[in-house]
Structure 1
Amino acid sequence: MKKITMQQIADHLGVSKFVVSKALSGKGGVNETTKERVIQAASQLGYFTQKNGYVKNAIPANIPLPTVPSKGSVLVLMPNIRFQNKESLYWGKVLEGISRELELQGLGMIIISEPQGDHFLHAINPEGIRGMVGVGQIATSLLLEAHRTGFPMVLVDHEDYLIPSDTIFANNPDGITKVVHHLIGLGHRKLHFLGNSAFSRSFRDRWIGFRSTLEDNNIQPQADHDDMLMLEGIETGQFQEHFIEWAKTRIDANSLPTALVCANDSIAVTVTAALHSIGLRVPEDISVTGFDNIDDTLRSQPSITTVNVPKEQLGQRAVRKLLDRLANPGTAYEKILIAVDVVHRDSTAGPNQ
């Protein structure tokens, strides 16, 4: 395969090789729009998949460097956005799985949760670093900075088409299909999905799985532009008021669904409380399901039927894949799906209409 050069990228975009070099080196001096164009073109042309398709970071001598164990450490990049932190009922479990597996392998862990700008790795000593695990939603600019180091990288619950890497996901389409089949088996034909497909790759996969399963069962799904597919404030429950207005409108129009399939448990818990506030009983009047099996679903009244995601296993599998990548650097990148199962609880029953 012919090597892709910076000059070829420059010619493709009609810019100078100097501009391409600046954009790919992360040294600044190029506006964000041009930088994104260069990154996208480099990815499309296959620049990043080449063995030397990255730039080693120079480390300033005046920055203190963390010490690492003799066998090395793994960087864990988990930007503290959308409540992605160790206190999270979801992400905290993933982090525990990563930590446990690294300990079993005799490796240390350096967590980067508050990266400053695009140059957060300049303060990391590459000596002793074995690779990286990215957890949750991460900006393309940060992933590019990580890719430039040349360290192998595995992403958990996230992927970026511009950055070549192995990825680990729960089997989201399979999980949502099982939930929908459970509801159909109870007699439901008026099902509605709640979430935001732009929120994460997992949410999008769950929506697609929901829609496909309904179509396979000759049930018309809601339209792509439906209000309940564009929820805002999912992490904080700020969508509750909007949902209540929607539900009241549906009640008045005698078009309330008999079952609500929520993209995650946080939505399901909020929705269940909102339904109670307007006098609807769960599951007597309407069924509700979640996804992820966080602890709050068991404490909810009623307890919520959900899909159990083996969160710790996601973290453990990411570490194992990273070690496999280190041992077999030339193999094709993999997208690994972890099996999930429905947890049947008290928020689902047959339709009451």
Structure 2
Amino acid sequence: MVTGNEHDAIGAHRPGGRSGAVKNAKMKDVAALAGVSPKTVSNVINGFVHVTPGTRERVERAIRTLGYRPNVSARNLRRGRTGMIGLVLPELNIPYFTELAEQFLAVAEEHGRTLLIEQTLGDRAREAAVIDGLGDQVVDGIVLSPLGLHGQALAGRVDAMPLVLIGERPSGGLTDHVAIDNVSAAREAVAHLIAGGRRRIAAIGAQLEPDVGTPLLRMAGYHQALCDAGLPVDARLEIETARYHLADGARAMRTLLDAGDPPDAVFCFNDALALGALRALYERRVRVPQDIAVMGFDDVDAGRYAIPSLSSVAPDKAAVARQAVQLLLDRIEAPDTAAREIVIGHQLRVRESSAITR
């Protein structure tokens, strides 16, 4: 928050004392406006970690105020860098990843970087290609959200490209990793349904796989919540889906309804599954939440405008992007530092689809 006095100070330091962007603003102008040295401005632009949050905020605000654009090409040429970072996601047509990519674009721009986005469709071979040289001479580092790869695959990588993982696949301490606590988040979501009087709660999104990932972590949280409440685990209520798309959620919901003993709530492992389930319930004239409550995961924009609006777990997508990009920039500057693991927070967004009606 900028106070009136701070605005006056900014005006006093701005070349010509005018408000708004300055034509052809220089680094020294940003430094004067932020009250720091040009070296500090350079450190912020280059993403160096040894800058206090308050100083970084002042410099970034001065950059926005003056409309300063660093000469990225000249800077990168001097340092042997491309100025580009890669973001590799499983599927761009899944709303969560689309919204996450938007956050990464904004953060990359703040750091004066260009973002190259690639999708793997969750294919293990394509993910392996990324970490074994896809970025060679194209990007300075990669943020990867893998579905097929895990720590053992990372141990055999042959490329020294700086790499940060996001999502549920752990790196085994081999590279930086940013994720949310999926077990805790799922447990909280199901506990909310139980608190609303639901006792026969289904899970949509189970997948049979040997490795740790989204399905197993969120299923673990689902089981823990049932156990906490003294409710039985019923395998008939755990519906497997091939993917996490709208059609998969609709098919899974129809399977539950056709079984003859429907649940009184469903916890879906992402919002696309939940939105598909809502459609199937609407087609069967099942009332939501009166007859069956629905809970999603990811808090995508479309869920807020569904009828009824969708309750969901909301990961802090902005924080995922901010932390992952910062880790990557740190890794580019200091490739031999120890790998770091960062857990991002989440919130439960309770809306109409799980409102307590009893």
Q: Which TM-score bucket, shorter chain as reference?
A: 0.5 to 0.7
CA contact (8 A) 1:147 1:163 kept: no
Amino acid of the structure 2 residue aligned with 1:281: R
CA distance in 1: counterparts of 2:203 and 2:75, whole angstroms: 46
CA contact (8 A) 1:172 1:206 kept: yes
Deviation at 1:74, TM superposition (A): 4.3
Match of 1:137 among 143, 147, 157: 147
Give the aligned partner of residue 5 of structure 2. none
In the TM superposition, what are the counterparts of 1:301-320 in structure 2 within 5 Å? Answer: 301-320=307-326
1:248 matched to 2:254? The reply is: no
CA distance in 1: counterparts of 2:346 and 2:302, whole angstroms: 18
1:192 matched to 2:198? The reply is: no
In the TM superposition, what are the counterparts of 1:11-26 in structure 2 within 5 Å? Answer: none
Deviation at 1:119, TM superposition (A): 5.4
RCO higher in 1 or 2 (8 Å CA, sep ≥ 6)?
A: 1
In the TM superposition, what are the counterparts of 1:156-195 in structure 2 within 5 Å? Answer: 156-159=166-169, 164-195=174-205
Is 162-171 or 208-217 further displaced after alignment?
Answer: 162-171
Deviation at 1:347, TM superposition (A): 0.7
CA distance in 2: counterparts of 1:140 and 1:185, whole angstroms: 36
Deviation at 1:313, TM superposition (A): 2.3
CA contact (8 A) 1:232 1:239 kept: no
Match of 2:101 among 87, 90, 95: 95
CA contact (8 A) 1:235 1:266 kept: yes
CA distance in 1: counterparts of 2:255 and 2:134, whole angstroms: 49
CA distance in 2: counterparts of 1:111 and 1:349, whole angstroms: 38
1:208 matched to 2:220? The reply is: yes
Q: Deviations over 1:165-205 (max 9, x none)?
A: 22111222222222222222222222221112458822321
Amino acid of the structure 1 residue aligned with 2:340: E
Deviation at 1:270, TM superposition (A): 0.8
Amino acid of the structure 1 residue aligned with 2:349: V
Match of 2:354 among 344, 348, 353: 348
Deviation at 1:282, TM superposition (A): 0.4
In the TM superposition, what are the counterparts of 1:43-58 in structure 2 within 5 Å? Answer: none
Give the aligned partner of residue 39 of structure 1. none
CA contact (8 A) 2:237 2:263 kept: no
Give the aligned partner of residue 106 of structure 1. 112
Amino acid of the structure 1 residue aligned with 2:144: G
Matched residue SS, 1:290: strand
Amino acid of the structure 1 residue aligned with 2:192: H
Gaps of 5+ in 1: 1-65
TM-score by length of 2: 0.66
CA distance in 2: counterparts of 1:145 and 1:95, whole angstroms: 27
Change in Cα spacing, 1:102 to 1:229, as seen in structure 2 (3 Å) is same
Give the aligned partner of residue 290 of structure 1. 296
Deviation at 1:161, TM superposition (A): 5.4
Change in Cα spacing, 1:344 to 1:133, as seen in structure 2 (3 Å) is same
Equivalent residue pairs, number: 276
Q: Deviations over 1:268-306 (max 9, x none)?
A: 111111112222100111111101011121121111111
CA distance in 1: counterparts of 2:156 and 2:113, whole angstroms: 19
In the TM superposition, what are the counterparts of 1:17-36 in structure 2 within 5 Å? Answer: none
CA contact (8 A) 1:195 1:267 kept: yes
CA distance in 2: counterparts of 1:198 and 1:101, whole angstroms: 35
Matched residue SS, 1:214: helix
CA contact (8 A) 1:297 1:304 kept: yes
Amino acid of the structure 2 residue aligned with 1:207: M
CA distance in 2: counterparts of 1:228 and 1:274, whole angstroms: 17
In the TM superposition, what are the counterparts of 1:217-228 in structure 2 within 5 Å? Answer: 217-223=229-235, 226=236, 228=238
Deviation at 1:329, TM superposition (A): 4.2
Give the aligned partner of residue 35 of structure 1. none
Change in Cα spacing, 1:78 to 1:129, as seen in structure 2 (3 Å) is closer
Q: Deviations over 1:215-272 (max 9, x none)?
A: 122221223xx46331224324145345313312234xxxx22111111111111111
Deviation at 1:158, TM superposition (A): 4.1
| More helix, by proportion | 2
CA distance in 2: counterparts of 1:233 and 1:326, whole angstroms: 34
Change in Cα spacing, 1:129 to 1:297, as seen in structure 2 (3 Å) is closer
CA contact (8 A) 1:94 1:313 kept: no
Change in Cα spacing, 1:155 to 1:74, as seen in structure 2 (3 Å) is farther
Give the aligned partner of residue 55 of structure 1. none
CA distance in 2: counterparts of 1:214 and 1:146, whole angstroms: 39
1:269 matched to 2:275? The reply is: yes
Give the aligned partner of residue 76 of structure 1. 86
Match of 2:344 among 328, 338, 349: 338
Give the superposed CA RMSD: 3.5
CA distance in 1: counterparts of 2:316 and 2:170, whole angstroms: 23
Change in Cα spacing, 1:271 to 1:68, as seen in structure 2 (3 Å) is farther
Q: Deviations over 1:37-90 (max 9, x none)?
A: xxxxxxxxxxxxxxxxxxxxxxxxxxxxx99944633442425x5xx12x5421
Q: Deviations over 1:302-346 (max 9, x none)?
A: 111111122232122111112233455444423322111111110
Matched residue SS, 1:218: coil
Q: Deviations over 1:96-134 (max 9, x none)?
A: 2222222222233333346996656767553x8432211
TM-score by length of 1: 0.67
